[in-house]
Copies of this chain bind each other. A is one copy, B any other.
């Protein structure tokens, strides 16, 4: 029986001539697949400061419904793409280390069954980067990471264990990636310590500070980064800690401050990276919707993903 006017609860307005970004997303049914798949890693109990980043997978998904699939700037329409939504990784209430391990296990297992998966991981805090990249690299081989972040995130482990301040130290110390294959972009004044800068320096990490970002063209930084990595690694993973953006444009991150990146630069960067076939994974972390204003920061996150997909679309069918 069909009753006129009755529709699913909370249904959004539909315009028959508009494909919304959220229309691309389809709940994964467990079948084998290849291509783009979103997965949520709603963990933020691992954060040093109080964080509601666990809610970001929800708000970023919701932000997709506020935007469309069409890039007028490059006349590229993502309307025919398909993005699988694999759902969220269930987190343990009181065992943070197990939660982190679940990120690893789940990502690895999805890859095991679907080797051509192109993961878009929605954090959660930055601590998920270690298990996420660990799972990614187990599937891909030698991995390079291009990290957008105001911070090095190579803190010591004694002071609190594997937190959102330690993922890149974990990656390097465990040999999951080599320091030479890590590129940090957007590192900011008065937001890091000299000992940790020395650490990444010693490990061969490439660092572009905000001064570099202001003075060079982003596309040149990207090109140079690709050049450095492409012959040395099997696959590249892009990690976007949203606090790389200036606090005025991404107010909903735990560690906000002035002196950050303009969203436009970030969009250009991920769009460029998306174009590269060697770039096979993207994550967005450190968006805390509970302290955001009008989900602005989740909207930026949705645009990051869309620009990444726009890049991908230029080179391959997705």
Using CB atoms and an 8 Å cutoff, list the residues of chain A in contact with chain B: 1-11, 13-19, 21, 27, 30-32, 39-40, 45-46, 48-50, 52, 54-55, 57-58, 61, 66-75, 77, 79, 85-90, 92-97, 102, 105-106, 109-110, 113, 155-156, 158-163, 165, 187-197, 207, 209-211, 214, 246-249, 251, 255-259, 263-264, 267, 290-291, 293-294, 296, 299-300, 303, 306-307, 310
Interface contact A258-B299, CB-CB below 8 Å: yes
A-B contact pairs, 29 of them (CB 8 A): A1-B30, A1-B31, A2-B30, A4-B102, A9-B61, A10-B57, A15-B165, A16-B156, A16-B158, A16-B159, A17-B193, A17-B195, A17-B196, A18-B196, A46-B93, A48-B93, A71-B189, A72-B188, A74-B189, A92-B160, A92-B161, A93-B159, A93-B163, A94-B161, A95-B97, A247-B296, A249-B258, A257-B303, A258-B296
- How distant is A74 from chain B, measured CB to nearest CB, in Å? 8
CB < 8 Å neighbour of A13 from B31, B32, B89, B159? B159
Closest B residue to A7 by CB, please name it.
B90
Interface contact B19-A193, CB-CB below 8 Å: yes
Interface contact A6-B106, CB-CB below 8 Å: yes
Main secondary structure on A side of the interface with B: loop
A85 and B193 in contact (CB under 8 A), knowing A161-B93, A249-B258? no
CB < 8 Å neighbour of A109 from B3, B109, B307? B3
A6 and B87 in contact (CB under 8 A), knowing A155-B17, A248-B296, A299-B258? yes
